[in-house]
Amino acid sequence: MHTTGNIPVDAQASRLIQLIGELRRIWGKDFKRGQAIADLSETQFQVLRLLERLHTETGTDACGHCPCPISTLAARLNLNPATVVRAVDSLERKQFVRRRRCEADHRQIHIEITARGAAVRAEMLARFHAHLVQLLQHMEPDTINSLIVGLEGLVCAARELHAIPKGRKGN
């Protein structure tokens, strides 16, 4: 059995699962409060975040649009395409995204974030950031640094295990 320090890795994994679950429950309540801004599900918010990030990473196509078909969103979010279609349908009704037919290949439909969607996304991220700052102010600087180093190591190990290129970010 593999151990790190005096604690077996499987015990550490169990504790991490427990802590992540607790954070999800706590942050889930905060997310629901922030959700009132735009009545977004977590999946819809992740779609908005990814669209904005893809626009930043890839820029625009020859037509001046950020090319992002549903299949790309589903793959990057590790979700079933049908789940992403439902999220996009809802976001489109709220005018947070729009569908645009690809001018180079009329079979493809690209999803773009609207100015309204970008504003909602930015406001929700700002609220989450402010909440995280508030939490971190209750922690010692060395603990914060250790947490960051540990999470970076966990992300690196996950990328390596799942063969995700370093430059590509998750959702």
Of the pLDDT bands very low, low, confident and very high (cuts 50, 70, 90), residue 169 is: low
Task: Report the mean per-residue pLDDT for the chain.
Answer: 83
For residues 113-130, average pLDDT: 89
- Eight-state DSSP code of residue 39: T
Compute how many other C-beta atoms are within 10 angstroms of the C-beta atom of residue 129.
10
Kindly list the distances between the CA atom of residue 89 and the CA atoms of 31, 36, 99, 151, 155, in Å, as whole numbers in the listed order: 21, 19, 9, 34, 31
| Cβ 30 vs Cβ 44: under 8 Å | no
Confidence (pLDDT) at 56? 76
Sequential DSSP letters for 57-116: HH---TTSS---BHHHHHHHHT--HHHHHHHHHHHHHTTSEEEEE-SS-TT-EEEEE-HH
Confidence (pLDDT) at 30? 67
For residues 103-124, average pLDDT: 86
Q: Scan for tokens 């909440």, then name that residue.
A: 131
Confidence (pLDDT) at 68? 82
**Tens-digit pLDDT profile for residues 84-113:** 999 999 999 999 999 988 777 777 888 988
More confident residue, 37 or 105: 105
Of the pLDDT bands very low, low, confident and very high (cuts 50, 70, 90), residue 150 is: very high
**Tens-digit pLDDT profile for residues 15-24:** 999 998 888 8
pLDDT value at 27 more than 70: yes
Residues 6+ apart with CB under 8 A from 142: none
Three-state DSSP state, 129: helix
Confidence (pLDDT) at 63? 47
